[in-house]
Structure 1
Amino acid sequence: MKKLPKDFIFGGATAAYQAEGATEKDGKGPVAWDQYLKDNYWYTAEPASDFYNQYPVDLELAEKFGVNGIRISIAWSRIFPKGYGQVNLKGVEFYHKLFAECHKRHVEPFVTLHHFDTPLALHSNGDFLNRDNIEHFVNYAKFCFKEFSEVNYWTTFNEIGPIGDGQYLVGKFPPGIQYDLAKVFQSHHNMMVSHAKAVKYFKENGFKGEIGVVHALPTKYPVDPNNPKDVKAAELEDIIHNKFILDATYLGCYSPETMAGVNHILEVNGGQLDFRPEDFKVLEAAKDLNDFLGINYYMSDWMKAFDGETEITHNGKGQKGGSKYQIKGVGQREFDVDVPRTDWDWMIYPQGLYDQIQRVIKDYPNYKKIYITENGLGYKDEFVDETVYDDARIDYVKQHLEVISDAISDGANVTGYFIWSLMDVFSWSNGYEKRYGLFYVDFETQKRYPKKSAYWYKKIAESQEIF
């Protein structure tokens, strides 16, 4: 039987916009998602899981079921309704109360500053494509570091890669732009500069605690590892989603191999990038200051060579086989491989998490430690007898915990795991039908019900043994 260390964090993850509700309450400013969901999807974020009011219930459940860490994000527009300027004191008060409840319940808060929810006033003027918003983010971060001294673990951004991907490649996030690879890379770059500036300020001013960044790192494999063109497709896809932002995080620059791939992609698809000397000065200054890397891992992808036009179809409603992904000059994802996949066409491959951890160790040895900050199974839960018999979720998490144990045995410093999600929340471009939580939420009554996975996770957390 495989084990995890005694001081390992067994956490649950949430995000402000996906859980809080109260989108217009107590002075909170708007975000781009408010109207975008109304215009493009079949649901809104109101009231979501009503975490704004239900957090004492959720944290009591966390304590009862052995969850000793929780990922929480601060809604930037709840603190600064326009992203800058006047502070909303009711928002500040809410987060102080939330963090106090966490500590009361012995659940350590790991706090993220930005989880897909730039305030509308800043999102409307270009989001992180606009360099002015780099400074607005850094000023917001400075305020939070000073104000919330009770926080011991800070994350600047959640999933810089999927933000650029969702906003400018797939077009499933506001502003809904598709196939603009230059904007993808520019967004990645400017957010990494924002991260570096915030980390540098945190360290130079001696704030207590730790700070890092959370990257989504889906592992990319060639369909045929003996076909150089498939291998190249996997490498280029990896640059878009992983290597570009990892280089910025830990090298303080982009390696020649990374830039060769970026230049190839832009030669085929068009566009130019605005990289400035001062950007690389701050990236270089921050590259050794990250206390941890958060890895969000759900799936891997298999790539094959492709010469046609770009076309991406997002499977938002869980209709298996509804996905299509091919990028001109990069490659095509192959879904019909001998690997199980979810109804949303996410390929279930725990080995990919092990391989991704080993890549970080090998390519970025100045990493200090890793948390697996998100991992879980999106599922069409069946609510029966006031619970969910989610054996598939248990099996999914078990397999991923086992490869984490293997990675630790092989020398990786992995110190915690946060299941996505603590309780059911809404899933950005997939709605409320795609559930991940340990606790089932009746979105009509907001009542919580432990799933079978919650009882299983409690036993794992208490014993550190994976069974």
Structure 2
Amino acid sequence: MKFAEDFIFGGATAAYQCEGSTRAYGKGAVSWDEFLEEKGRFQANPASDFYHQYPVDLKLCKMFGVNGIRISISWARIFPDGTGAINQQGIDYYHDVFKECRKNGVEPFVTLHHFDTPIGLYKNGDFLSNDTIDAFVKYAAFCFEEYKDEVTYWFTFNEIWAVATNQYIEGTFPYGEKYNVTKAFQAMHNMMLAHAKAVLVYKEKNYEGKIGVVQSLEYKYPFNELKIEDIQAAKNEDVLQNQFLLDATFLGEYSCETLEIANKLASLQGGKIIIRDEDLEVMRKAAKVNDYLGMNYYQSRFIQAYDGENDIFHNGTGEKGTSRFRLQGVGERMEKDGIDRTDWDWLIHPESMFDMLLRIKLQYPNYKEIYITENGMGYKDDFEDGIIDDTPRIDYVRRHLYYLLKAVESGVNVKGYFIWSLMDMFSWTNGYNKRYGLFYIDYESQKRYPKASAYWYKRISQTKELE
């Protein structure tokens, strides 16, 4: 099984998770700074110190065959208050990063928003506010023009579903609200409207690059495929996480099925999703000119019907078997015999990546291109005299790449794969004990150590063959 010669073997990062220097060099505060302080949890400083270590990390990319890197621009490093005055230090920093990418033959794939809204806009409602939508479009337009000669591949948002569910349903992101499905749907719609407006700005300027959005997708299977109520529960959660956003991305509107289920779920709380005709007009135009989809894919879900009390517990410590997800009128996530889980209760089910890729091809034939923009395994890596044997991670990635290639053989146009993550980084709800990287970070010395997976990934990149 071979990859195309132009296939991107990438590594993924995010500004807040790797840069450090969260309140230095003119950078403004973001929603996470205050939220983490209030919770008394870990801080994202210095994290992996990418702000200073990026030449080292990009040299490692070159040495280990990583020819693409996902980087996010920190909005608050460019506009410290979200709008208004710019921070020249921040602007120059990203110029330097992109220059170093080119020097090492690493293509930058740049995301504009990776969970880090400037704090003033966050306190004004984040993406439930039209002011934030407008501010995001202005910020995007600035970046498009500023970096037009250095960036060819753009993404507007990373994981719109993750923002919505963790802010308003699971309560693990800033705001920390739980069980508000209506706000989650509204935030997703508003972020897709902001995405569409930014895409149209990019296309109207006739820049030479490409643009898309990153969605976090999980295939939803009925726990008992013979029970009609479980089939409906799986469809409920599919609309909540997948179909609502895929419709917005590829159709620029919502199918009758999507709207029926979304409105039903919102009405369970007496809520209503506001979708204006003028929103859909903009979204339909953008849907026609999206260049690709970034798909973050880690796991699948098995859902059974559930009408009890809302009950969600997030496993943020790696204590296996402690997570719960039960949404009244939506469904309950279940374990499935024969499918292993990580210490954080994430199902290891690579065949579902194939199912999702085929689903997109068949349901949205105008999709154009797909990049797997995140996939990887959180693991408690052991460090022994500079040797890190992460064989379970290699097995996880190998199995997912196998099903990626099976999807390509079935006609899906997959252009690249970005392992999450390039190096170990700060994790939003887990701090530093959950490691994903190809390169181990000693957070005290900031020294990088290649793991066994880095050497394996290099061989795949060089030979274009899956072992």
TM class by shorter chain equals over 0.9
**What pairs with 1:257-272 in structure 2 (closer than 5 Å)?**
257-272=257-272
Please give the alpha-carbon distance, in whole angstroms, between the structure 2 residues aligned to 1:35 and 1:368.
Answer: 40
Calculate the TM-score normalised by the size of structure 2.
Answer: 0.99
SS in structure 2 at match of 1:407: helix
Instruction: Decide whether the 8 Å contact of 1:4 with 1:405 is kept in 2.
Output: yes
Please give the alpha-carbon distance, in whole angstroms, between the structure 2 residues aligned to 1:382 and 1:41.
Answer: 27
Report the residue type matching 1:275 in the other structure. Answer: I
What do residues 5-59 of structure 1 show as CA deviations (whole Å, max 9, x unaligned)? Answer: 1110000000000000001111100001012112225310000000000000000
Please give the alpha-carbon distance, in whole angstroms, between the structure 2 residues aligned to 1:43 and 1:214.
Answer: 27
SS in structure 2 at match of 1:383: coil
1:336 offset after TM fit, Å?
4.5
Are 1:175 and 2:175 matched, yes or no? yes
Match of 1:403 in 2: 403
Are 1:240 and 2:240 matched, yes or no? yes
Question: 4+ runs of 1 displaced by more than 6 Å?
Answer: none
Match of 1:316 in 2: 316
Match of 1:380 in 2: 380
Match of 2:107 in 1: 108
Match of 2:66 in 1: 67
1:337 offset after TM fit, Å?
3.1
Please give the alpha-carbon distance, in whole angstroms, between the structure 2 residues aligned to 1:298 and 1:433.
Answer: 18
Are 1:32 and 2:31 matched, yes or no? yes
1:330 offset after TM fit, Å?
0.7
What do residues 433-467 of structure 1 show as CA deviations (whole Å, max 9, x unaligned)? Answer: 00000000000110000000000000000001111
SS in structure 2 at match of 1:269: coil
Match of 1:81 in 2: 80
Aligned residue pair count:
466
Please give the alpha-carbon distance, in whole angstroms, between the structure 2 residues aligned to 1:363 and 1:295.
Answer: 15
Tell me, which stretches of 5 or more residues in structure 1 are unaligned? Answer: none
**What pairs with 1:47-66 in structure 2 (closer than 5 Å)?**
47-66=46-65
Please give the alpha-carbon distance, in whole angstroms, between the structure 1 residues aligned to 2:241 and 2:251.
Answer: 16
1:302 offset after TM fit, Å?
0.5
Instruction: Decide whether the 8 Å contact of 1:230 with 1:303 is kept in 2.
Output: yes
**What pairs with 1:132-151 in structure 2 (closer than 5 Å)?**
132-149=131-148, 150-151=150-151
**What pairs with 1:292-441 in structure 2 (closer than 5 Å)?**
292-441=292-441
Please give the alpha-carbon distance, in whole angstroms, between the structure 1 residues aligned to 2:20 and 2:306.
Answer: 42
Q: Larger deviation: 71-80 or 383-392? A: 383-392
Percent same amino acid at aligned positions? 55
Match of 1:19 in 2: 18
What do residues 165-190 of structure 1 show as CA deviations (whole Å, max 9, x unaligned)? Answer: 00000000001011111100000000
Instruction: Decide whether the 8 Å contact of 1:424 with 1:440 is kept in 2.
Output: yes
Match of 1:190 in 2: 190
Please give the alpha-carbon distance, in whole angstroms, between the structure 2 residues aligned to 1:327 and 1:252.
Answer: 28
Instruction: Decide whether the 8 Å contact of 2:29 with 2:76 is kept in 1.
Output: yes
Calculate the TM-score normalised by the size of structure 1.
Answer: 0.99
Q: Decide whether aligned partners of structure 1 residues 272 and 49 sit closer, same or farther in structure 2, where only a CA change above 3 A counts.
A: same
Match of 2:253 in 1: 253
Match of 1:91 in 2: 90
Please give the alpha-carbon distance, in whole angstroms, between the structure 2 residues aligned to 1:135 and 1:94.
Answer: 25
Tell me, which stretches of 5 or more residues in structure 2 are unaligned? Answer: none
Match of 1:460 in 2: 460
Please give the alpha-carbon distance, in whole angstroms, between the structure 2 residues aligned to 1:123 and 1:352.
Answer: 35
Instruction: Decide whether the 8 Å contact of 2:263 with 2:272 is kept in 1.
Output: no
1:218 offset after TM fit, Å?
1.0
Give the alignment's Cα RMSD to 1 decimal. 0.8
Please give the alpha-carbon distance, in whole angstroms, between the structure 1 residues aligned to 2:456 and 2:384.
Answer: 18
Please give the alpha-carbon distance, in whole angstroms, between the structure 2 residues aligned to 1:428 and 1:378.
Answer: 13
1:335 offset after TM fit, Å?
2.1
Please give the alpha-carbon distance, in whole angstroms, between the structure 2 residues aligned to 1:201 and 1:336.
Answer: 45
Report the residue type matching 2:427 in the other structure. Answer: S
Instruction: Decide whether the 8 Å contact of 1:230 with 1:305 is kept in 2.
Output: yes
Please give the alpha-carbon distance, in whole angstroms, between the structure 2 residues aligned to 1:387 and 1:270.
Answer: 55
Please give the alpha-carbon distance, in whole angstroms, between the structure 2 residues aligned to 1:41 and 1:357.
Answer: 40
